[in-house]
């Protein structure tokens, strides 16, 4: 289960060219828009979109926003159910035309300094979205004709869907690394989930660490990646102390000299609960071979937490800050999704991350 923000969603990106230094403008026209329909301009504040302006479309679907910004930054235009992410700086005069009925949210752009890069990014994005839409249409058609074969049809189409998804991810990674001087690459990179591509995100952060110094989103990203480096394989596991389930302090230092699996989970996390039988099996197999587990719950409800421990027969040590993703230790370990885990050796060094099922069993068998 993941925490996501609008910055991480693949959308429509616009970057403008310089004309005036006092403000920037975004103007354009939406086809198939309701006359006098309202649209909104959002700014990004602390990784959240906050409305900063609104306007009413003309009878022809035309609109215009004028705004100032301290540096190159992210904005978002909301029209009906469509959202268009904009990268703008003072002096830009951006023109954006789009058809609100276009499912790919394609657009025509002029007056943008990075128009070529943006066109490249969105052309490929639309191509992959179209392929995925075709797979979905094929699935819907087959299921409609054979509703009792839904699961079989899904399994047949899964390899094709995975192939298209992998192609899109590979393109995004290549695009971001080929264009480190373009803020568009930062947007492209952040359309991926960092929990799945930690190494790639860290490598990318190293490439842009001296760029876009005035952009708050980039600065926060670089700080986050620096912290993420501290919990990579080969690093010493950060120390912490929190309350155990019986209310007594428990520290990582208490487990020095043992192999310990830090398991971040929660009672409400179904992927976590589905993985628990594998962890129980690993614990019962290796608990007498200098191996143990410390479960760290992101629960906020102590009763639900305790009930899940009992129901899943989790007989190892448990602790929690009862603060969801905002707990100090959860933040220290840069947890963006659960289940997440860290295997720590007797010296306190991280030797593996996010091992699941057979991977966990095989690693423990090899190591212990």
Whether residue 166 has pLDDT greater than 70: yes
Pairing of strands 291-297, 259-265: parallel
pLDDT in tens, 310-345: 999 999 999 999 999 999 999 999 998 899 999 999
Note the pTM of the prediction, 2 decimals. Answer: 0.71
The pLDDT of residue 349 is: 97
Burial per residue of 178-206, b for 16 or more beta-carbon CB atoms within 10 angstroms, e otherwise: ebbebbbbbbbbbbbebbebbebbeebbe
The pLDDT of residue 205 is: 94
pLDDT in tens, 35-47: 888 999 998 776 6
Pairing of strands 93-99, 24-31: parallel
The pLDDT of residue 10 is: 36
Structure tokens at 154: 């899904």
pLDDT in tens, 99-120: 999 877 778 877 666 767 877 8
Cα torsion 139, 140, 141, 144 to 10°: value is 120
Q: Which of 3-12, 278-287, 350-359 has the lowest mean pLDDT?
A: 3-12
Tell which phi-psi region holds residue 91, choosing left (phi > 0), alpha (psi between -120 and 50) or beta: left
Start-to-end CA span in the chain (Å):
30
pLDDT band at 14 (very low <50, low <70, confident <90, very high): very low
């Amino acid at each position: 289960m993941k925490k996501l923000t609008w910055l991480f969603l693949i959308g429509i990106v616009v970057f403008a060219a310089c004309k005036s230094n006092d403000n920037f403008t975004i103007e354009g026209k939406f086809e198939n828009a309701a006359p006098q329909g309202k649209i909104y301009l959002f700014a990004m504040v602390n990784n959240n979109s906050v409305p900063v302006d609104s306007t009413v479309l003309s009878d022809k679907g035309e609109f215009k926003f004028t705004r100032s910004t301290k540096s190159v930054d992210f904005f978002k235009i909301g029209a009906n159910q469509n959202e268009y992410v904009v990268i703008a700086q003072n002096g830009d005069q951006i023109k954006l035309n789009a058809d609100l009925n276009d499912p790919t949210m394609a657009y025509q752009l002029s007056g943008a300094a990075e128009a070529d890069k943006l066109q490249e990014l969105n052309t490929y994005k639309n191509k992959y979205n179209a392929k995925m839409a075709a797979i979905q249409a094929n699935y819907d058609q087959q299921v409609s004709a054979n509703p009792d074969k839904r699961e079989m049809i899904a399994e047949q189409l899964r390899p094709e869907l995975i192939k298209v998804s992998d192609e899109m991810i590979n393109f995004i990674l290549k695009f971001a690394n080929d264009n480190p001087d373009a803020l568009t690459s930062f947007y492209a990179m952040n359309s991926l989930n960092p929990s799945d591509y930690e190494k790639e995100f860290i490598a990318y952060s190293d490439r842009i660490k001296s760029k876009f110094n005035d952009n708050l989103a980039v600065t926060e990203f670089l700080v986050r990646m620096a912290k993420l480096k501290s919990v990579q394989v080969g690093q010493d596991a950060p120390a912490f102390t929190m309350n155990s389930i019986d209310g007594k302090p428990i520290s990582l230092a208490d487990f020095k000299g043992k192999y310990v699996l830090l398991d971040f989970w929660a009672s409400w996390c179904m992927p976590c609960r589905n993985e628990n039988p594998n962890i129980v099996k690993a614990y019962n197999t290796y608990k007498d071979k200098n191996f143990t587990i410390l479960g760290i719950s992101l629960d906020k409800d102590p009763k639900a937490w305790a009930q899940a421990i009992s129901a899943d027969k989790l007989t190892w040590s448990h602790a929690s800050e009862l603060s969801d993703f905002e707990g100090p230790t959860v933040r220290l370990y840069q947890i963006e999704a659960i289940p997440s885990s860290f295997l720590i050796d007797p010296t306190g060094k991280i030797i593996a991350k996010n091992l699941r099922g057979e991977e966990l069993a095989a690693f423990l068998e090899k190591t212990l």
